[in-house]
Copies of this chain bind each other. A is one copy, B any other.
Amino acid sequence: MWVRNAWYVAAWSHDVSHAALLPRTIINQPLVLYRKADGSVVALEDRCCHRLAPLSKGRLEQDDLRCMYHGMKFAADGRCIEIPGQDLIPPRAAVKSYPVVERGSWIWVWMGDAGLVDATLIPETIATTDAGWHIKTGYLDYAAHYQLINDNLLDLSHLSFVHEKTLGRNMPQWAGQRPQVTRLDRGVRFQRWFENRPHAHYYGREGETYDLWHSYDFLVPGIFIQRPAWYPPGTAKRMNMQPPTEPPLFVRCDDQAVIAETERTSRYFYATGARSTDATVALADEMFRFTETAFHEDKAIIEAQQKVIDLDPDQPMMSLSSDAGPNLFRGIVKQLVDAEARPPQPARVAEPVALAAAQGN
């Protein structure tokens, strides 16, 4: 169960080049990515239409891609432009071409109907090249269904337990308090103030406390965009617990994408950093390493959870009050998936009978 009409992160910008072919699997569809000579990114079906061999084992010839099984050559738009030993190229000789947008250091690929492409659905994320930020990037591969990873990011109460020694250190509030949860058009927004929280490994002084405005969006298909902002103590109350209108002391950034590959494999992309006015490159590096350690804690519990589920897939989950986010998001995904499964409706037209009556008058 996955949404097709959505932008999926296929890779970090720096992982795609004109010198190599990058194979990726997204929602069970094989893709091959590369850059043309002009730097633009191409995403084609990684499955030759002839004998279904992967084109990612083929050869880039200028901007075209040749299958190195029997030699069919495809243009960057997916059309076959050469069949060795055969003059006629049938029109159906083609592989699927996917719409691609490169933005914010991510390669976004539209996995659904080309007629529904909508670039405004791509959220703003921070590029690694943004001079205003020091950012580091990475990814982890999961042997788990993407929904379990989404659930994890939609309920940060787990920080007090899974990450009690890392991200959630000295912060029982992650589990003890509930954020305000708001439904967005294709996602969920989480907002809350943490008052008087102690310093973190990346900001603050031992013994002092801070108010932390914690806000993030989680968007279809699994994009996590978080900008925690540190304030002097008392700010939360002065703002009446509403979103802050004052400049923060420190802002960190976490951009993440949970990408379903198959029913039991997923890739988790992530970037962590801070404003370049707030942090040195060395500190941003340390923030990243610390965060990545925590992500291995998530992977351990989620892959274990997957195994328990697979032992008896009929066992139901039980919702707690902390599941507002996961439940809301699972509902949004279900709505979108159901809508995609329905046959398209014809555009509404005036009824012939009414028209005839009008003409008759």
Contacts and interface: CB of A to CB of B under 8 A. Distances in A.
B318 A50 contact: yes
Interface string A294-314: 000000110011011101100
A164 to B, nearest CB: 8
A197 interface: no
A360 interface: no
A176 B93 CA distance: 18
A157 B161 CA distance: 55
Contact of A84 (B57, B69, B157, B300): B157
A49 interface: yes
A229 interface: no
A69 B161 contact: yes
A53 interface: yes
A70 B157 contact: yes
A359 interface: no
A92 B164 CA distance: 27
Interface in A154-198: 155, 157-158, 160-162, 164, 172, 175-178
A84 to B, nearest CB: 4
A67 interface: yes
A29 B311 CA distance: 8
Given A69-B301, A69-B305, A300-B57, A321 B49 contact: no
A345 B308 CA distance: 33
A326 to B, nearest CB: 9
Contacts of A46: 308
A276 interface: no
A315 interface: yes
Given A25-B311, A28-B311, A70-B320, 17 more contacts: A29-B311, A29-B312, A50-B320, A53-B301, A53-B305, A67-B161, A69-B158, A69-B305, A70-B158, A70-B175, A70-B322, A84-B157, A84-B161, A84-B172, A84-B176, A85-B178, A262-B311
22 contacts: A25-B311, A28-B312, A29-B311, A29-B312, A47-B315, A49-B318, A51-B151, A52-B308, A53-B304, A54-B307, A57-B300, A67-B161, A69-B158, A69-B305, A70-B158, A70-B175, A71-B158, A84-B157, A85-B175, A85-B322, A86-B322, A90-B318
